Structure 1
Amino acid sequence: MIENMHILAGMLEKVGLAALVVLTYRIILRWHLPALWRGPAIGVLFGLAAVVTMIDPFEVSPGVMIDVRNVMIALAAVFGGVWSAVIAGSIAVLVRIAIGGAGLLPGTVSIILGTVIALTFVHFRGNRRDLPTLALLGLVISFSLLSAVLLPVDVLVTMAVKSLPALIVRNIVGTMLVGSLLAMEERREKEYMTFKQLAERDALTGLSNRRALELVERRTPGHESSGLFCVIMFDLDHFKSVNDTYGHSFGDVVLARFAEIISMRIRGSDLVVRYGGEEFCVILNDARLDNAERIAEDIRQQLARENFSRNVTVTASAGVAQSSQEASSVYTVIKNADMALYMAKHKGRNEVVTYSKPVYLPG
């Protein structure tokens, strides 16, 4: 009994150190790596975690060591997939071979067996992270202890009699504890991304809101490093009258449709922002001024041809501006495009006007 408690205490201490794994896992999630790289990154993390547990293990007899390496490999399979588990298991095998000792063969077989068991479990059970599933995974991964049959008979008997219950409990508790902490981090990251998207998106149109411009401004400190860009400012003409005459529900339909028209006309690398109530801002990256003018005119014409319910038509005015040596800030170019938009409205609306310095506003 004392031996079992000693083993269990030592294993729980190693699981406590695995809190570092949770913190590193959070960093990997925040990096938002492509799927092709995320699995290998998680595999390296859990492989190194398995190595850390192997550096200072509990020694059953000279050269025969036990640790929570297979717990880490099992969690690699659940949280990172096939490649993650294979990479974690491979790292653990290489290090176990380098360590050597009397338990080299059973230790290596245990890692390989643990990797296969973990992948098989995930294949049939999926990558569920609830506590019952994690507990079952910890229990199943304990079958990797069958590699102990490769140990000398006296060591095998000693391990089976004195250590086996604590080793199984270690796997179950370790998998549940570390796995639940990792799952908690995943839930927090998903909640964070959901709230972030809600904060940066307009609920009606699904477009970015003005907060997105702050990110653009940070990425474009000057046109020398980021390339020229153009801004188009759109404003729906007499939109207050549309709302007053046909109701705000109808106005929402118009806004949503106009957002679709703009989004379909621009590239994926460009940005559309609902700048105000009926005002929209388009950032065209690496765009020439003549291209921006043509895009603005196409969007204006398409909206003018749109026939809403009750045979209602709506038009829009637009102002276009381009970045330059003197105007490299996004907000400066937006201000210039807004001045051109003012001119378009002054000329009678349903117009596209390009900013040119100086712009003389009517007094």
Structure 2
Amino acid sequence: MRKPLIAVVMLLAGTAVFAAETPLTAARYAQQLGVGMDVDWARTDRGIREFDPLIVRDFYNAGIRHVRIRVADNMTEARLIHLRKLVEACEEYGVIPVIAYQADTFKADPDAKNEAQLVAWWSTVGHFFGSDHPTLGFDVIYEPADKLNRDLPALNRAYENVVRTLHDIDAQRMIFIAPRLRAAPEDLSSLKLPPHSQNYLLAEWHIFPWGPLKANGKYPWTSGTAAERAAIRARIATALRWQQKSGHATWVGGWAVGESFKSAPTASQMAFARFMACELNKAKIPYAINADSQFYDGEEGAWRPAPEPLLQEMIAPTCEKPDAKPGHHELKAPVRGEQSATPTAASTTQSTARPASSASQG
């Protein structure tokens, strides 16, 4: 009886070693991101005050697999300690953390002084985390806008310096860079990518970060007409073509349905949420939902009931099969209230361990 038992133990040990030695690349990282949510746990006084590690458990149980932790202020020791608390909570409950910097000063005036401040900010964060927390990602500037829209060389130069700085600290750190025009997918091609950076550099882009807002007297989404759907598919196709041409994975850093949710979602909101989520899933592009305060009550420590059906569609939409008749949907298994065991930090780290390397890939 002992020989079969020994064989099983050796097999399990070998599987664990193989998983631990499997390198984490940007392509694998993008697959693991899944559906996420933009959070203000480190950006607003309320978000910082109301954060509790158990919130991350609630997010995981709802089907959220990563969080985009937005940060706006200069870095201090207290803020660094708070960020580590957030990252450790994410690891404990199997949620991937991505730190995203607002970089308002550099966006407003991308001169040499403000670029140096941007590099210094990330250098501080990079040195604080070192090579720990292998699933932690860095989103250099979320939504490049303002004067950066007219100064592409300054944006690319800043990315080059930040990426080099961070990869000198940790050559395998996952880093996101976003194009100008508030991360428009049409401008992905303007990004200047470091050579041989596919393994640790991803592109972040946006589509309807605040929902389909009215522009030039018209809404880009009303009832989901053929033209409205085609316009959204065209933008996603633009990102897919860039992925194929560049060899880099992409991630939608945030999208929303637009209005705040004080009552039950409308039919138009539900249709838009379903279509967006289904199209991004079909394209195999991970995405984050904007934003946590719309759906989760940090003070109560619970999901808001009114937008819950909408959130369900954004996380696990009911999508039409390619060969289905119009109006027929394939119902996915619900994700809210999952009873499966919550991953621990050890299991998460084991499956994403990094290869030994000292050379910068950025």
TM-score by length of 1: 0.24
Taking CA–CA contacts closer than 8 Å with sequence separation of 6 or more, which of the two structures ends up with the larger relative contact order? 2
In terms of fraction of residues, the more helix-rich structure is 1
Considering only CA atoms, is the larger Rg found in Structure 1 or Structure 2? 1
